[in-house]
A = this chain, B = another copy of it.
Amino acid sequence: MEFSTIDIQNMEQRYRARFINSLSGFKSVGLVGTVDSKGLDNLAIFSSAFHLGADPALLGLIVRPDSVPRHTLSNILDVGEYSFNHIHKSFIKKAHQCSARYDKLESEFDMVGLNREYKNGMKAPFVKESQLKLYLKYREHHELKINGTILIIGEVLYVKFSEDYLREDGSIDIEKAQSVTTSGLDTYHSTSQVMRLSYAKPDKELKEL
């Protein structure tokens, strides 16, 4: 079936949100841990994380200023640091519940029942239950005037995961870590590796690794 611009414009608002959110494919999802200058912390679910570069090591996040993660944005701008924590099958419901509109004084850690983990010299909390966690330093943000969303760019300062997940070539087996992916607004998926492929060159056959 086919949908034109007019079909999309005529969709009911929530219907359109579900439809359009499905189009980009499976998404990177994680919990972003932040703290404000008074020490109040916050945990928000993001399904818009993306790789921006390896040297320096940069991660991008998209924030809608009118949506739930607004505390995340102000905390990142205040304190300049945040954590990014993979989500696993064992705590999908708790992670999803972080998208509820809690009051600023209520920490999602307490509300959903996830545990804080702290590291020396790092202000923002990690999610203890997460098997792959990063710590980032805020580098810059861009307001995308087209719809008022904000792109936050952070530099990876620290990474923690079980050594079982590291392959010899530097890649991390995030499927072994049982990290999940999402589609649309509400669906969580586990993964099954189909194949790893060699670096592609013209006139050279790909090898399965």
Contacts and interface: CB of A to CB of B under 8 A. Distances in A.
A180 B194 contact: yes
A103 B179 CA distance: 37
B48 A134 contact: no
A52 interface: yes
Nearest to A199: B186
B28 A25 contact: yes
A8 B159 contact: yes
Contact of A159 (B3, B25, B162, B197): B3
Contacts of A106: 202
| Copies, count | 2
Interface in A54-90: 54-60, 62, 64, 84, 86, 89
Interface secondary structure of A, over-half rule: mixed
30 contacts: A1-B160, A3-B160, A8-B57, A16-B54, A17-B55, A18-B170, A22-B172, A23-B134, A24-B28, A24-B30, A26-B26, A26-B27, A51-B62, A53-B149, A56-B147, A58-B146, A89-B194, A93-B206, A139-B146, A142-B142, A142-B151, A144-B153, A171-B185, A172-B184, A174-B184, A183-B191, A186-B197, A186-B199, A187-B196, A188-B193
Interface of A: 1-5, 8, 11-30, 47-60, 62, 64, 84, 86, 89, 92-93, 96-103, 106, 111, 132, 134, 139-140, 142, 144, 146-147, 149, 151, 153, 156-163, 166-167, 169-172, 174-175, 179-181, 183-202, 204, 206, 209
